[in-house]
């Protein structure tokens, strides 16, 4: 479960009946309908040939918590039935754990009772539930003019230069790009590199960056529930995520203090920092600058190139060749998930922050 005031729990299996999400603590009166959810879920489904040929017609059903087109204040349950599921590959490799996947640890942890098909409840398919919850969170944030954008800044050895802007046009550029990269120049190189990897039967890693604009100062509850802590927990839970960083992140480790300064300045009647090397966070709290977070994704582990593994029955080495439907770069599909998780964590912390505001006015008054 993620969150304190706004709590989100995902469930489901890749090749079971479906996946979904339970959302608790969401305020009433926010307009939501299944069409909007379906559009949001479609963001996880970039166009062929760059992603998995699996055609998930993600038709979300809101089974609870929405009445007459608005949230009720009660628990919300969204369910997305699975379709178009071919499990034959998984029967074949049941005893041949895929390198880089959770097959083996899951078999040990769950004593062989887990749904081994397609990763079961460890599958990336469960992020559909995250995107659904994010759709709710974004509607809540939009009441406070807070907006979140996520996009690709790296695929394999190609880095994209993206200058995020708080605009609908920027968002459209992201989701009209098959690689979720709003920079047209970079996009072409990224697409070429992906085609190359595909034709090699290989895959590529990538980095997703998210930025959030218009945050109030002071979101985050240090010492142990800082906004960055809660974001890191959520973002690392995305299948394939192997690293998370804020602002300049790991680059700060190589820098001097005098180079890593964000001086406070007063501009246009506002207190802000001259640069944003810290990604809008000081001590786990927002500082009024845009929040910047990046998530590193490993390359898709299942590839058409044969990889070595063992047969768990014979303990002999064997070669495994991916036959399931997999994206050549999971980072692309993860863009919508990163956007959703950032929105969820922000909405949770916004509600926590809002709870104190009436107290403030009573103390001052």
| Residues 260-279 within binding reach of a second copy (CB under 8 A) | 260-266, 271, 273-274, 278-279
- Given the structure tokens 């800044």, which residue do they identify? 153
Give CA 306 to chain center in angstroms.
29
Tell me the site size for a second copy, rule CB under 8 A: 160
Q: x/- contact string, 327-356, with a second copy (CB under 8 A)?
A: ----x-------------------xxxxxx
CB atoms within 10 A of CB 293: 27
Q: Is the distance from CB of 287 to CB of 228 less than 8 angstroms?
A: no
Q: Among residues 67 and 167, whose Cβ is nearest to a second copy?
A: 67
Q: Which of 43, 56, 297, 334 binds a second copy (CB under 8 A)?
A: 297
Tell me the CA distances in angstroms from 210 to 55, 103, 150, 259, one per residue in order: 26, 30, 4, 24
Q: Which of 115, 187, 209, 339 binds a second copy (CB under 8 A)?
A: 115
Q: Among residues 53 and 112, whose Cβ is nearest to a second copy?
A: 112
* C-alpha span between 111 and 116 (Å, rounded): 11
Q: Which of 34, 38, 45, 61 binds a second copy (CB under 8 A)?
A: 61
CB atoms within 10 A of CB 209: 21
User: Is there binding between residue 300 and a second copy (CB under 8 A)?
Assistant: yes
Give CA 266 to chain center in angstroms.
34
Q: Which of 38, 42, 64, 189 binds a second copy (CB under 8 A)?
A: 64
Query: Applying CB under 8 A, which part among 52-60, 160-168, 179-187, 240-248 lies near a second copy?
Result: 240-248
Query: Applying CB under 8 A, which part among 37-45, 105-113, 169-177, 178-186 lies near a second copy?
Result: 105-113
CB atoms within 10 A of CB 248: 19
Using CB atoms within 10 A of its CB, is residue 258 exposed (0-12), middle (13-18) or buried (19+)?
exposed
* C-alpha span between 235 and 252 (Å, rounded): 20
Q: Among residues 19 and 148, whose Cβ is nearest to a second copy?
A: 19
Q: Among residues 166 and 221, whose Cβ is nearest to a second copy?
A: 221
Q: Which of 100, 166, 175, 178 binds a second copy (CB under 8 A)?
A: 100
Tell me the two tokens of residue 252.
């700060």
Using CB atoms within 10 A of its CB, is residue 58 exposed (0-12), middle (13-18) or buried (19+)?
buried
Window 5-24: residues binding a second copy (CB under 8 A): 5, 7, 9-13, 16-20, 22, 24
Q: Are strands 147-155 and 158-159 parallel, antiparallel or unpaired?
A: antiparallel
CB of 31 to a second copy, least distance (A): 9
Overall residue count recorded for the chain in this entry: 365
Query: Applying CB under 8 A, which part among 51-59, 98-106, 170-178, 180-188 lies near a second copy?
Result: 98-106
Window 153-212: residues binding a second copy (CB under 8 A): 154, 156-157, 197, 200, 202-207
Q: Which of 41, 140, 181, 338 binds a second copy (CB under 8 A)?
A: 140
């Amino acid at each position: 479960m993620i969150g304190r005031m706004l709590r989100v729990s995902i469930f489901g299996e890749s090749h079971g009946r479906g996946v979904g999400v339970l959302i608790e603590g969401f305020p009433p009166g926010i307009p939501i309908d299944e069409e909007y959810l379906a559009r949001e879920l479609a963001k996880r489904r970039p166009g062929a040939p760059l992603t998995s040929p699996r055609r998930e017609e993600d038709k979300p059903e809101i089974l609870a918590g929405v009445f007459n087109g608005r949230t009720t204040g009660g628990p919300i349950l969204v369910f997305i039935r699975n379709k178009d599921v071919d499990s034959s590959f998984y029967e074949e490799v049941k005893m041949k754990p895929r390198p880089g996947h959770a097959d083996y640890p899951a078999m040990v942890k769950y004593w062989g009772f887990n749904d081994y098909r397609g990763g079961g409840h460890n599958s990336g398919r469960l992020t559909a539930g995250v995107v659904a919850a994010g759709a709710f969170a974004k509607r809540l944030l939009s009441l406070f003019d807070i907006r979140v954008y996520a996009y690709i800044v790296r695929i394999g050895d190609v880095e994209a230069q993206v200058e995020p802007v708080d605009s609908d046009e920027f968002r459209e550029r992201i989701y009209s790009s098959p690689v979720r990269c709003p920079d047209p120049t970079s996009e072409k190189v990224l697409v070429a590199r992906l085609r190359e990897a595909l034709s090699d039967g290989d895959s590529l890693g990538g980095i997703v960056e998210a930025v959030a604009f218009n945050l109030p100062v002071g979101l985050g509850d240090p010492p142990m529930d800082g906004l960055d802590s809660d974001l890191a927990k959520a973002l690392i839970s995305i299948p394939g995520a192997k690293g998370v960083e804020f602002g300049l992140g790991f680059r700060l480790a190589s820098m001097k203090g005098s180079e890593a300064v964000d001086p406070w300045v007063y501009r246009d009647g506002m207190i802000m920092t001259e640069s944003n090397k810290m990604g809008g966070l000081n001590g786990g709290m927002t500082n009024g600058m845009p929040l910047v977070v990046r998530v590193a994704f490993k390359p898709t582990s299942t590839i058409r190139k044969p990889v070595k593994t063992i047969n768990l029955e014979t303990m002999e080495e064997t070669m495994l060749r991916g036959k399931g439907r997999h994206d050549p770069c999971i980072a692309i599909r993860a863009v919508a998930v990163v956007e959703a998780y950032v929105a969820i964590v922000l909405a949770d912390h916004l509600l926590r922050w809002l709870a104190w505001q009436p107290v403030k006015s009573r103390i001052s008054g």
